[in-house]
Structure 1
Amino acid sequence: MAATKKKTAEKSPGTSRTRLASLIKSARDTMRKDAGMNGDLDRLPQLSWLLFLKAFDERVEQEGEALDPDGYRRAIEEPYRWEDWATDRDHSGDELKSFVNEKLIPHLAGLVGDDAEDPRNVISTIFKDVVNRMQSGTLLRELVDIVNQIHFVSTDDIHTMAFVYESILKEMRDAAGDSGEFYTPRPVNRFMVQQSFLELGESILDPASGTGGFLVQAYEELKGQVKTNTQRRRLLADIRGIEKKPLPYLLGSMNLLLHGIDAPQVRRANSLLEMRTSNAADKVDVVLTNPPFGGEEESTVVKAFPDGFRTQETAWLFLYSILDQLKLGGRCAIVLPNGSLFATGENSIGAKIKKKLMKDCNLHTVVRLPQGVFAPYTQIPSNILFFEKTGPTKDVWFYEVPLPDGRRGYTKTKPMRIEEYQPCVDWWGGKEREGREAGEQAWAIPASDIIASGFNLDIANPHVGDELAHRTPEELVDELVKTETEILNQLEELRKGLGVSSSAE
């Protein structure tokens, strides 16, 4: 049976990027016809859980049987396997809808794994929150038929689907941005992973893993170093995440599966509570994260923190928790907004947490990101803090990544590119940060000065003033006019989007 399936899979036609894009478009067109689908926040999760089951069947189940025909035990058994119901044309209309709603989803949600690496745990966690939102059984049949034409049987197919899925995630981020969900652009992920200098054997955690961007980048960074099966198993166990919300958990699990992680080590939980109740065995070597900021946590979470460090601001709670979650000698790269860096004063919880940070860790680098990196979700200026749990901070280096020449910010159509970080990478000085020099974009501040300021880390580039001093009044006026014109144009576009006529019309 396994050999037959392998042969069938090998004969399945490869799915080119063009073909795949066409199928995804057809799938989304089909879902648009259904009365139960209200925008991409409904359509994309629906497509994702179906893609997950198809990919899991071909990437994990069929490959597992092919490699071990006698010993492999399927995570999903009859009649719930993909080929049992998705490819059966007798399953259609209301019958298919009833089967999916009343049998398939409850069965998958009830799976129980034997150990931490058992994929049944991932499947059950995903499907506890999955709801089939399609009201038409006929349209559901059409959608399943389209998904069934997508294949994951070769490396090329998987890479193609991963590429297309990333574009789906980008659209998902665009849709979710309006509801307050901010996601990390890929260049930021890549830069933070690259400058963390990861090594095989290190445990790596993202406590706000979302759609899995940091975890995917960390795995991609390290998988080329793997030489043995033992190393690969260790790497898969070392890539860890925690995600509170069901939708990002589903999208992230699919993302990790497509990149070769069959049983993602991502827990569905409130990471702040998880980290507060963790023990020594749960501590990690590396944390890579962009925690939610500007939000508020419920009182039960806040009360889990010590007196003097209780706040509803999520960014501070994450930073405090990460300081405890790191092993001695561990390191972290974390995104924080300017407001968090500025918080000062003896009674400020932010200042207290920064004091703990600089006492326990070497905060060696603060990378100041240009305006609009997280557009369109937020225009809040942000920074990346890099620190190591190796003892107190002596000096903090700041590096300001400038906007490209002629740019005032980033947009969905013109986002940041990874190449813009290259000057910072060249300046960095490698893993040991050797040979750093102050310059137009870089400057160092003694820890004693930061302590004297009340732990203010929102320190502007001291070279910007010099640049302005050397510009003529005409240049400054021209720049101001240009900025005001851009603002007026953006306001006019906003007016049109709201359907409001301008006075001239």
Structure 2
Amino acid sequence: MAAAGKTADKTSRARLSAVIKSARDTMRKDAGLNGDLDRLPQLSWLLFLRAFDALEDSRELLEEDYRPAIDKPYRWRDWAGDPDLYGDALRDFVNGELLPYLKGNLEGATPRDAVLVDLFKDIHNRMLSGYLLGDLVRQLNEINFASSDDIHTMAYLYESILREVRDAAGDSGEFYTPRPVIRFAVKQSFLSLGESILDPACGTGGFLVESLEELVDRADSTEARQQLQRDLRGIEKKPLPYLLCMMNLILHGIDSPTIVRNNALVQMTSEYGPGSKVDVVLTNPPFGGEEEASILERFPKGVQTRETAWLFLVAILDKLKPGGRCAIVLPNGVLFGEGAGTRIKERLLRECDLHTIVRLPQGVFAPYTQIPANILFFEKTGPTKETWFYEIVPPDGRKGYSKTKPMRDDEFEECVKWWGDREREGREENERAWRVPVADITANGFNLDLTNPANGDDLIHRPPYELISDLVAIEREILGLLEKLAVNLEGLK
């Protein structure tokens, strides 16, 4: 059965981009959509239904026991090209029939189909004009998915939409991980088929998609591919990133993404037993955030802290299997934090081999924050004996990053060469790499915010205006966090 709007030729990437641009121009005219944080979710769920219908088309041809995930008349092909559904009639159908069906009428279906119920439970049509909605649907109906290659093209374009959502979200205090950082963390985690991989702050799914792409070519059977899909797990608290993550993974070929929508600190501290443990954690948890008192009570008194990143680290230590490993992005403040932070770092070094800390350049998350960050790599294999530090520096002539000049993959190439194999054999100290015995770290109060000894006089050679500019940017950000903390404390009175 042909999907509505299909033509003989598949849609090129350029054509697809043009259609999406036209669709977004249409949405800008609707009074119900205010800014990209409204328009992009609206585009995303409609675009998802269009792409999902193409995937269903392929399933119908390939699977002998095929059963549609969406029944008539709610499939995209049934209503998107119906000339009688336009204007108010289309708006009323979407609001009164389609979305209620997707939110509840699939309950009791197979796990794959039930994904749709969970996906659409918080979706609303925000467009007020049924005529503009009709124009938008017909524009998206021009996209042609003639083969699985077109789904990959859709996934590629979807990544560009996700980047724009991340840009818009940055204004709300959410900072998404740059793709080069994700690729590096995944690559240096040396993933294997059969390992359970969790991102407890998965956002739009960057770490999970990269893990999938790292392993999918090794899965040479249907069973192996299905197991790989089950092994990729995520937790996401906020509805918009959750929606985009689910759609992103489905468009990357994962039929039933194992993504839980919940506060990860609640989810991870509610799961018990060996079956709840995982082999690998890859994540960039929110930092600078604060959790409510009921969340803190889930943790031992000695490590109760409102710093979200610290609580994630504790939960991850509990979540890893013996022998498990983790790559986690953390800000400098976590490395030198005292009080509960000191006790958490002491536990980390006692239970795990914190073998590598990669110090990222300032501005990796620019333009949203100038706070420097790091990637910590550790394995739950016993106490740390020594920790290697490696400093990533911007390319020659660059002092930092911006929205138009972000970090690039090749900036990690030297570190990858230095790293060695999975056992990290052959490492040597150089102008970017140094090692610190755990006894020195302990004697220094478990401070992990250690600078490169080769750069001892670096500050002397930097121009004063650069130093002042950096200090002003960081102080402004710290002031903003303190003001936020003061408001929250005032509310606790």
TM-score, with structure 1 as normaliser = 0.90
Is the alpha carbon distance of 1:435 and 1:313 closer, same or farther for their aligned partners in structure 2, counting shifts above 3 Å?
same
Q: Secondary structure at the match of 2:290?
A: coil
Match of 1:33?
A: 29
2:212 matched to 1:180?
no
Shift of 1:151: 2.8
Aligned length: 471
Is the alpha carbon distance of 1:487 and 1:241 closer, same or farther for their aligned partners in structure 2, counting shifts above 3 Å?
closer
Shift of 1:155: 3.1
Match of 2:436?
A: 445
Which residue identity does 1:175 align to in structure 2?
A
Shift of 1:73: 1.5
Match of 2:488?
A: none
Match of 2:477?
A: none
2:28 matched to 1:5?
no
2:317 matched to 1:323?
yes
Match of 1:189?
A: 182
2:10 matched to 1:14?
yes
Match of 1:491?
A: none
Kindly provide the CA deviation profile for residues 439-487 of structure 1, in whole angstroms up to 9, marking residues without a partner as x: 1000101111111111100001110015677xxxxxx47x335777999
Determine the C-alpha separation between the residues in 2 that align with 1:89 and 1:328: 60
Match of 2:47?
A: 51
Out of 150, 161, 183, the position equivalent to 2:143 is 150
Shift of 1:113: 5.4
Alignment of 1:492-503 (within 5 A): none
Determine the C-alpha separation between the residues in 1 that align with 2:276 and 2:436: 34
2:448 matched to 1:457?
yes
Determine the C-alpha separation between the residues in 1 that align with 2:360 and 2:407: 10
Give the unaligned 5+ runs of structure 2: 473-493
Kindly provide the CA deviation profile for residues 242-298 of structure 1, in whole angstroms up to 9, marking residues without a partner as x: 111110011111211221112211111111111101122121000000000111112
CA contact (8 A) 1:111 1:123 kept: no
CA contact (8 A) 1:372 1:380 kept: yes
Is the alpha carbon distance of 1:12 and 1:307 closer, same or farther for their aligned partners in structure 2, counting shifts above 3 Å?
farther
Which residue identity does 1:323 align to in structure 2?
L
Match of 1:83?
A: 77
Match of 2:255?
A: 262
Kindly provide the CA deviation profile for residues 61-85 of structure 1, in whole angstroms up to 9, marking residues without a partner as x: 222221235x212111112111121
Alignment of 1:325-344 (within 5 A): 325-344=319-338
Out of 144, 161, 169, the position equivalent to 2:162 is 169
Shift of 1:44: 0.3
Match of 1:494?
A: none
Determine the C-alpha separation between the residues in 2 that align with 1:319 and 1:138: 50
Match of 1:282?
A: 276
Shift of 1:5: 3.3
Kindly provide the CA deviation profile for residues 342-365 of structure 1, in whole angstroms up to 9, marking residues without a partner as x: 013xxx111111111111100000
CA contact (8 A) 1:93 1:138 kept: yes
CA contact (8 A) 1:256 1:264 kept: yes
Is the alpha carbon distance of 1:273 and 1:447 closer, same or farther for their aligned partners in structure 2, counting shifts above 3 Å?
same
CA contact (8 A) 2:6 2:143 kept: no
Alignment of 1:326-365 (within 5 A): 326-344=320-338, 348-365=339-356
Determine the C-alpha separation between the residues in 1 that align with 2:149 and 2:104: 33
Match of 1:42?
A: 38
Determine the C-alpha separation between the residues in 2 that align with 1:465 and 1:207: 37
Q: Secondary structure at the match of 1:293?
A: coil
Alignment of 1:125-136 (within 5 A): 125-136=118-129
Is the alpha carbon distance of 1:487 and 1:327 closer, same or farther for their aligned partners in structure 2, counting shifts above 3 Å?
closer
TM-score, with structure 2 as normaliser = 0.92
CA contact (8 A) 1:174 1:376 kept: no
Shift of 1:158: 2.0
Match of 1:412?
A: 403
- The CA RMSD measured in Å over matched residues stands at 2.0
Is the alpha carbon distance of 1:31 and 1:10 closer, same or farther for their aligned partners in structure 2, counting shifts above 3 Å?
closer
CA contact (8 A) 1:55 1:151 kept: no
Give the unaligned 5+ runs of structure 1: 470-475, 489-505
Shift of 1:420: 0.4
Determine the C-alpha separation between the residues in 2 that align with 1:432 and 1:197: 10
